[in-house]
Amino acid sequence: MRTRTLFAAFSAAALLITVSACGGDDDTAPAAAAGTAISADRCAKNKAAGKVTYLSGYQWQASASILEYAAAKKLGYFDAVCLDVTMQPGTGDTSQNTKLLASGKVTFSPVSQQDVLSANANGIKVTGISSYSNVGLEVLMTKTDVTDLKQLDGTTLGQKGAMPIGVQAMLVQAGADFGSVKQVTVGYDPSVLTRGQVKSLTGFISNEPNQLKAAGTPVTVWRPYDYKVPGSLGAMAVNPDFAAKNPEAVQDFLRAGLHAFEYCEDNAGECVKAAAELTGAGYDEKQNLAVWQTEDKVVRDSLTSGTALGAIDTKNVTALAEMLNTYTKTSITPEQATSEFDTSYVSAIYQGDKLIWPAP
């Protein structure tokens, strides 16, 4: 187990000199820049990239692709790769995040693979650069008396203003009569389900189910992934122009975030406190710890042995495009879909499935 304190973790990053991925000596490698985990030349390139803005998905919630980047800032990992990163909280409006990315007003933002595809289909150009899992966050919840999704025919489904495509596809795959299901917009109080105001409720696997369990009212959680419906969790996107001009900076931004992910798996409480510091008063550390631990388990349970964390599964990308074509009437070809993602940044920072830190 990694039990370093935040201070010790930063100090280790600052004092490390450049080594090979296997940890051996390399007399021909360029010396690391003072106080960094990268070479002086690479440090200069990253500094030349200028200010980098990270826009979170939703505030500083302890979700994958948010918590580890908040921690990377606190731990000094961005400093260790010579990146000047500004942290900006998002509102949860994915369409706004993609517009800000495309315009260059922000540099990086967590955007699901399906949202990358939808944005590009609508002329909003962003590039997907990593993803942790093909298991999506969006789920459907019912009381425990529902044992088959066909039981939802003719009932009322609560959603947050838009029906998640993956949940719709799951209902269809399960043989439910989706057209007979009455959809109503509900707020963010999941007790509407347990009080019987709706028969089913959309939500996120790391959020509402944990809240209901904590309240002593567990529910049945239905995951689209279990019905062979594609999804994504912890995906990251970048402004394409920035990426084209600064490939090393993109690599090292991901490197810092993925290094922090590993740290947060063993030091979750410290990382949640880092997110709490960014938020201020009112941050529910207990709930956010449950969010992180739930998502981390989904990521690790679904990660194929030997696969680098963050690697993009292009088969999943094309499956997502096909799903969007079916349910949103887009016409994304497989070639278009895969062209909107760049797998090179993640592959450049791994040796096999081992993250290279410090950078070569």
Please report which helix (H) or strand (E) contains residue 265, including its range: helix 247-266
Say whether pLDDT at 29 is over 80. no
- Dihedral-angle region of residue 117 (phi above 0 means left; psi in -120 to 50 means alpha; beta otherwise): alpha
Q: Is the dihedral of CA 77, 1, 275, 125 positive or negative?
A: positive
Confidence bin at 35 (pLDDT 50/70/90): low
- Is the peptide bond between 190 and the residue preceding it cis, with omega within 30 degrees of 0? no
Tokens of 86: 């500004």
Please state the rounded mean pLDDT for residues 288-311. 97
Which pLDDT does position 135 carry in this prediction? 97
Which pLDDT does position 37 carry in this prediction? 87
Tokens of 345: 């940044």
Which pLDDT does position 17 carry in this prediction? 33
Tokens of 339: 């062209």
Domain 6-134+232-355 has CATH 3.40.50.150: no
Ranges of each domain in the chain: 6-134+232-355, 138-227
Residues 181 and 157 sit within 8 Å (Cβ to Cβ): yes
Say whether pLDDT at 13 is over 90. no
Identify the CATH number of the domain defined by range 138-227.
3.40.190.10
Separation of CA 291 from chain center = 12
Weakest mean pLDDT among 33-37, 238-242, 271-275, 352-356: 33-37
* Per-chain mean pLDDT for the chain: 91
Please report which helix (H) or strand (E) contains residue 350, including its range: strand 350-351
Confidence bin at 359 (pLDDT 50/70/90): confident
The percent of residues in the chain predicted with pLDDT above 90, rounded, is 88
Q: What pTM did the predictor assign?
A: 0.90
Which pLDDT does position 27 carry in this prediction? 35
